[in-house]
Amino acid sequence: MDGAVADLGAVLRLSYGMGHVLNDVCASMWFTYLLVFFHLVLRFSAANAGLLMLVGQVADAVCTPFVGLEVDRGPNGWPCGCLSRRGFGHRKTWHLIGTLCTLASFPFIFTPCIGCEASHEWAQLIYYSAFVVIFQFGWASVQISHLSLIPHLSPHEHQRTKLIAVRYSFTVISNIFVYVITWAVLHLTSDKTDDQVGPQDMYKFQNIVVICLAVGAGCSVFFHCGTTEPVTTESGVREEGAVEMRLKMSPKKFLAVPQFYQVALVYMCTRLFVNLSQVYMPLYLHDSLKVTAEELAIVPLVMFLSSFVCSFVVGHMNKFFGRKISYLVGGCLGVAACALVYLGKGAFYLNYGVYGVAALFGASSSVLLVTSLGVTADLIGQDKHSGAFVYGAMSFTDKLSNGLVVTAIQSLKCLSGCPDYYRNMLSIVCGGSVAVGVLALLLLWPRNSIEYTAIQEEQVEAEEANHSIQEQ
């Protein structure tokens, strides 16, 4: 078994890493350019553009646990019976379903309402919401099935780590690819008479989406050709399930632990900072700084490159300084970036300073996100059996809170004459989120004693049950 992954070598690792590229390019377009497209290109009201993102976030939050339960049911679950055979198991079946749903729906999100361009905005909103729900179902299906393959491709931690590393590398490459393609399309087709994004850029976003989906689809084909899913027998599932039932911290017990809610607050605030900075940076650049269209690709690219560079040092920071100090450092960088956004003005800031601010946002996002994931892992501790529940709960709060906050921000925007609105939202909401996250983490106390107490309680209950059986 030790050589299961090594036997296939680079082909397996490469093909597996490519399996999430389609999701990565779509997520990059979704968070960075959805509001830009609907508000600036399609001329939707700010409130309705935000409502569409809320529909997507809620759909994602609902679909994720559903897909997870169905994937866990194995080859007998819906709809995998007919395709469940060696080389194309139930996880790859779910991956294929998700891929087809994404390819069939995502292009329509960045396309004018077919046959209803002149319809009322609410009618168009219902039209787009249908494609958004299908896309989010497909996205969740690919994400869950792809992640669940890791422990089945190899039972060894070292080999799994290699697969995760390749997966993250392709995530980085995918995001950079989206921003480079966006810059190239906007730059090569720029109209010097009207440099800002508007309805005239409709076809440009369509071209970007087609290029991204073509690359993502090609990577998915390579994934299915190069990755063989091992078959899990029913007896193996039963054996594994019996082991997992020993001394586990149940979801009910996690919900009774105060630290669970503190960590959820830290993770939620971190995701709010990271996602809202990605969502509102392009709108801030357009409305407040009046930059050219191609700058809407260059500045997010600087943010992501900075985040990528910092990701190499975050692990060492957490190791030598601990979670709280590392998160505090990331929080300080984030607050500094928000303060500079609020105060930044003038030619120097417009030409040079904004790139420094983007680098600060990227660096702080990397430190905060990696550290918050580490804090979540600390909460789970050695009790890996309930890890899926904990991560699922954190992900649910993340998706729902992001959707609600974006909807609130968009709903409060004035119709015209407020060029500093997105500047204020970017600085105040993101700065407030990271401040609350830092405070919540500083007030967090260790879970070790609770973890050991829970395990001891399990052991006592087991011993009492054994004694009662022996007495009978």
Q: Which residues of 224-234 are buried (b: 16+ CB within 10 A; e: fewer)?
A: bebbbbeeeee
CB 26 within 8 A of CB 32: no
Rounded CA-CA distance 467/469 in Å is 5
Rounded CA-CA distance 250/62 in Å is 21
* Maximum distance among all Cα pairs of the chain, rounded to whole angstroms: 90
CB 61 within 8 A of CB 396: yes
In a structure prediction context, what are the per-residue pLDDT tens digits for the chain, which is 472 residues long? 444 434 447 788 888 889 989 999 999 999 889 988 998 899 898 889 889 999 998 998 888 777 777 776 666 555 555 555 544 677 888 899 999 999 999 999 999 998 888 888 899 999 999 999 999 999 988 888 887 777 677 666 556 656 666 776 788 788 889 989 998 888 777 665 456 778 888 889 999 999 999 999 999 999 988 887 776 554 444 444 444 444 455 666 767 777 888 888 998 999 899 889 988 999 899 888 888 877 888 898 898 888 888 877 877 787 788 888 989 999 999 999 999 999 988 889 888 899 999 999 999 988 888 788 778 767 766 554 555 566 667 777 888 898 899 989 988 888 767 888 999 999 999 999 999 999 998 887 664 433 434 444 444 454 455 545 445 4
pLDDT for the residue numbered 371: 83
pLDDT for the residue numbered 207: 93
Backbone phi, then psi, for 296, in 5-degree steps?
-65, -15
CB 264 within 8 A of CB 421: no
So where are the chain's domains? 7-245, 247-461
Rounded CA-CA distance 101/146 in Å is 15
3-state secondary structure of 89: coil
pLDDT for the residue numbered 388: 54
**Two tokens at 327?**
């998160």
The closest of 252, 277, 316, 258 to 440, measured between CA atoms, is 258
Rounded CA-CA distance 224/198 in Å is 39
- pTM listed for this prediction: 0.74
First-residue to last-residue Cα distance in the chain: 44
pLDDT for the residue numbered 382: 53
pLDDT for the residue numbered 226: 82
CB 466 within 8 A of CB 254: no
Backbone phi, then psi, for 230, in 5-degree steps?
-65, 150
pLDDT for the residue numbered 233: 52
CATH topology of domain 7-245: Growth Hormone; Chain: A; (1.20.1250)
Token look-up 């792809």 returns 146
Q: Which amino acid is present at 241? A: G
Report the sign of the C-alpha dihedral through residues 206, 211, 216, 222, in that order. Answer: positive
pLDDT for the residue numbered 250: 60
Rounded CA-CA distance 33/297 in Å is 10
3-state secondary structure of 188: helix
User: Domain 247-461 has what CATH class?
Assistant: mainly alpha
pLDDT for the residue numbered 320: 84
